[in-house]
Structure 1
């Protein structure tokens, strides 16, 4: 069964069909898109743990570009068209990736971060290290509370390989259906999931992320941040219970929050018009508090 999974290696031919550019960083080739004038206000988009990478911003980045913003998005290590290095997928790995990407592109201007799910953990860790570089932060259904508790069997090498191959991989696409309220949208999105999960490293990257990142908690970092923070969540997200809002509020008085009705784990993907307007209003410092 394992031989029938992850049947492709990511090649330059595969990357030739991708938009944007590629750059070599410490742990491999990174796919990114940087658009807009270098004098315009910059927004950095950080996606979550999904294998499709920055494609989750397809309904958002064009909106901000039309508003005159400069935008930077990229695929995290192990996702999208970026390399899948054989390393531990820790928050440090991903923060280092962002820092190196910005430095290599010679981006020195302060920016706004728009992050989703696991990307919120990267946003927090990066802002802790470089507080003067971040103007404001958006969390979309963030995963920073360490709620994920992997099954103990996943810590056993041979057993975990069997579980990932015989149980998890065959169900990986269908298991993400619950993240969507709009099932027709999920059917279209699932085609991209199926495409990227065929590249070598999908099981390894996800397993390592569970073991080293999604089980971590860094929400407490909020109490030391001075930036304004916006939390947006789908009211039908199975991974972000509404009660989590109070957890984030307990660490910062600058938090504003908005619930998106009838949306799941990616409200910006399911309800882009509504979410884009909320994000734009926040980015222009005109969003009233709650």
Structure 2
């Protein structure tokens, strides 16, 4: 009899503990969500640049004028990566402008000061965003497109689908082949658990990562402070989680191959110390995009866009200035 009582007591104890843990988990989730500010016109007022309304929401963008010698400038569009918005390009703007590039930067949906729509953050979303943004700016000629990290995958996807719109494709540590996503990604991908982890712990984890020495760079010396601003508002962490679940970060071999078949000129720049997107992925790109050229930056990390802006911008300026005969492309697919 005492043994039965003991089993019942233990069962009740475990049940009570489980209920308490569930209440605590729900409470922490609600508290984390409640602490977020609404992303509205007051939030947008903090942003530099301008806004345009596209199909999926308002997009924050800015033009940086060319400072060339009077010749017609090239239009160059810069596409940032997974979590760090358009200020990441700070170190490249002046060199590109001096080389007579008219530069368009913007925040991907879910990042910076662009809207955070309640849709799957997949490749089609970001492709549509870039296509509609160019249309809204009355850009009808082929442009240079530069993508950094996940932005490289977006730029590649865009070029594969709309090769007639891309003059040249610049890639900086581009995603699209296997990347080092970290040990926590499988947990974040899990329904319910992933939502709780991102809402309750995501802010702290991301800020800790952004504060590491590997993510520092002289072009954006206050990057952790800038990075934190977008996290104040509802939708940022949700958008990152949706991207992790829906964007083919390591699965774009077909798109790279289509770029190769379209013969769009490609330059890929890597830091040889990149621990996020392995520099050995350059070999995989070369196999399916044979026209691609490669530049390796000695000692560079995944942060080369803003930690080594002189070398990155010099490689891009040289690449964009090289004469070539652009191929004739079919209509967008």
Q: How does 1:148-167 map to 2 (within 5 A)?
A: 151-167=185-201
Q: Please give the alpha-carbon distance, in whole angstroms, between the structure 2 residues aligned to 1:186 and 1:99.
A: 28
Counterpart position of 1:19: 48
In the superposition, relative to structure 1, how do residues 180 and 10 fare at CA in structure 2: closer, same or farther (>3 Å)? same
The CA deviation string for residues 55-103 of structure 1, in whole angstroms up to 9 with x for no partner, is: 1111112221222211111111001110001110000000001111111
The CA deviation string for residues 190-222 of structure 1, in whole angstroms up to 9 with x for no partner, is: 011111111111221111110111445113323
Q: 2:295 aligns with which of 258, 265, 274?
A: 258
TM-score by length of 2: 0.79
Asked whether the equivalents of residues 43 and 114 of structure 1 are also in contact (C-alpha less than 8 Å), the reply is yes
Q: Please give the alpha-carbon distance, in whole angstroms, between the structure 1 residues aligned to 2:227 and 2:310.
A: 24
Q: How does 1:84-163 map to 2 (within 5 A)?
A: 84-147=116-179, 151-163=185-197
Structure whose alpha-carbon radius of gyration is higher: 2
Asked whether the equivalents of residues 181 and 263 of structure 1 are also in contact (C-alpha less than 8 Å), the reply is no
Counterpart position of 2:19: none
Q: How does 1:204-243 map to 2 (within 5 A)?
A: 204-223=238-257, 224-243=261-280
Asked whether the equivalents of residues 121 and 144 of structure 1 are also in contact (C-alpha less than 8 Å), the reply is yes
Unpaired runs of 5+ residues, structure 2, are 1-27, 324-333
Asked whether the equivalents of residues 179 and 266 of structure 1 are also in contact (C-alpha less than 8 Å), the reply is no
Runs of 4+ in 1 over 6 A off after TM superposition: 183-187
In the superposition, relative to structure 1, how do residues 152 and 69 fare at CA in structure 2: closer, same or farther (>3 Å)? closer
Unpaired runs of 5+ residues, structure 1, are none
Q: 1:34 aligns with which of 46, 60, 63?
A: 63
In the superposition, relative to structure 1, how do residues 220 and 214 fare at CA in structure 2: closer, same or farther (>3 Å)? closer
Quote the offset at 1:184 in angstroms. 7.7
Q: Secondary structure at the match of 2:277?
A: coil
The CA deviation string for residues 115-166 of structure 1, in whole angstroms up to 9 with x for no partner, is: 1011111111211221111111111000111446674443443222222234
Q: Please give the alpha-carbon distance, in whole angstroms, between the structure 2 residues aligned to 1:253 and 1:161.
A: 41
Q: Please give the alpha-carbon distance, in whole angstroms, between the structure 2 residues aligned to 1:181 and 1:196.
A: 17
Q: State whether structure 2 residue 40 is matched by structure 1 residue 8.
A: no
Q: Please give the alpha-carbon distance, in whole angstroms, between the structure 2 residues aligned to 1:155 and 1:59.
A: 34
Number of residues of Structure 1 aligned to a counterpart in Structure 2? 286
Counterpart position of 2:85: 53
Q: State whether structure 2 residue 105 is matched by structure 1 residue 68.
A: no
